[in-house]
């Protein structure tokens, strides 16, 4: 099958592109190579994809029309492209243009295809709000610009299914970590702090925060499980993540144990919109997608530490 992946040079998008290619699909990736973090890291991801025969094109969904960009029709679109995370330095316009406007333009492209592809929207547990422990039919209460704009993007996608103009699903991901994790995220920063004697910025109150820290390959398992299940997935939302909860303190302790190094921390004011608890309720995904993540935090962090040492 022909598959289009947006945000393909990013953390989860690059892993998913590789998996789809390994499954025998023809994958074309898009990325705008935004300077949200060091572009050299994205270039490394892009090079890894090209070495595996995956086409990758630099396109900004906010600015460029896709109608004449491809010489093939697509069976699936996996939409990762977004302005990520909770950042005090990001503007609302950056979240809006990337997460809402970019999604709307991609949906228009999909709708205009001769045979519209099945659209897989990559969403986030931030849609639920400060506590993300609920089932998919719970009313969202996002508490950050990121969560608000990702909810809006999700609803743009699902609106197309209600209008019967596209077939689509939305996957809400929980606290993903592993090789290629962004440098601003928890475990890459912890590993960097331990190995390079840097001080780790610890947001006030975050030691007690609970997370469904989910290894990236377990997330990819859930994402690709949608293929072939269009009838089951159309119009549906699925949570993807581990049911095991860990505190930030336990995460720090695990990194220290694996590296045999103490991490020095510096207290920072709490971040607005930061979730106090996430616990993935995956009953629906387990039943309909046969989803069953099994990588322990220690196993996943061992793989991430190996990647960090090799790539940095």
The residues annotated as belonging to the active site are: 146
- Check: CB of residue 61 under 8 Å from CB of residue 6: yes
| Orientation angle between helical segments 248-259 and 297-311, nearest 10 degrees | 60
Neighbours of 119 (CB within 10 A): 26
Direct distance between the N- and C-terminal alpha carbons of the chain, in angstroms, rounded to an integer: 35
Alpha helices in the chain (DSSP H): 11-22, 39-51, 92-95, 102-112, 145-162, 186-195, 216-224, 230-233, 248-259, 283-289, 297-311
Phi, psi of 266 (to 5 degrees): -130, 125
Do residues 194 and 185 make contact, with C-beta atoms less than 8 angstroms apart? no
Q: For the stretch 223-232, what's the b/e string if a residue is b when 16 or more beta carbons lie within 10 angstroms of its beta carbon?
A: bbbbbeeeee
């Amino acid at each position: 099958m022909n598959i289009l992946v947006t945000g393909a040079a990013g953390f989860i998008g690059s892993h998913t592109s590789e998996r789809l290619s390994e499954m025998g699909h023809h994958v074309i990736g898009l990325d705008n190579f935004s300077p949200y973090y060091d572009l050299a890291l994205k270039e490394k991801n892009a090079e890894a994809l090209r070495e595996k025969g995956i086409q990758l094109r630099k396109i900004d969904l906010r600015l460029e029309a896709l109608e004449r960009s491809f010489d093939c029709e697509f069976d699936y679109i996996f939409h990762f492209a977004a302005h990520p995370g909770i950042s005090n330095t990001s503007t609302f316009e950056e979240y809006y243009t990337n997460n809402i406007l970019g999604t709307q333009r991609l949906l228009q492209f999909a709708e205009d295809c001769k045979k519209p592809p099945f659209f897989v929207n990559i969403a986030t547990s931030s849609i639920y709000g400060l506590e993300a422990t609920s089932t998919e039919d719970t009313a969202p209460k996002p508490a950050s610009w990121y969560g608000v704009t990702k909810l809006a993007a999700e609803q743009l996608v699902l609106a197309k299914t209600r209008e019967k103009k596209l077939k689509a699903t939305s996957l809400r991901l929980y606290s993903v970590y592993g090789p290629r994790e962004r440098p601003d995220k928890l475990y890459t920063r912890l590993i960097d702090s331990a190995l390079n004697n840097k001080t780790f910025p610890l947001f006030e109150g975050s030691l007690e925060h609970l997370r469904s820290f989910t290894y990236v390959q377990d997330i990819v398992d859930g994402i690709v499980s949608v293929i072939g299940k269009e009838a089951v997935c159309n119009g549906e939302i699925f949570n993807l993540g581990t049911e095991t909860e860990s505190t930030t303190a336990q995460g720090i302790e695990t990194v220290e144990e694996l590296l045999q190094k103490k991490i020095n921390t510096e207290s920072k004011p709490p971040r607005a919109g930061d979730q106090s608890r996430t616990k993935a309720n995956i009953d629906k995904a387990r039943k309909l997608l046969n989803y069953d993540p099994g990588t322990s935090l220690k196993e996943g962090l061992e793989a991430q530490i190996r990647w960090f040492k090799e790539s940095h």
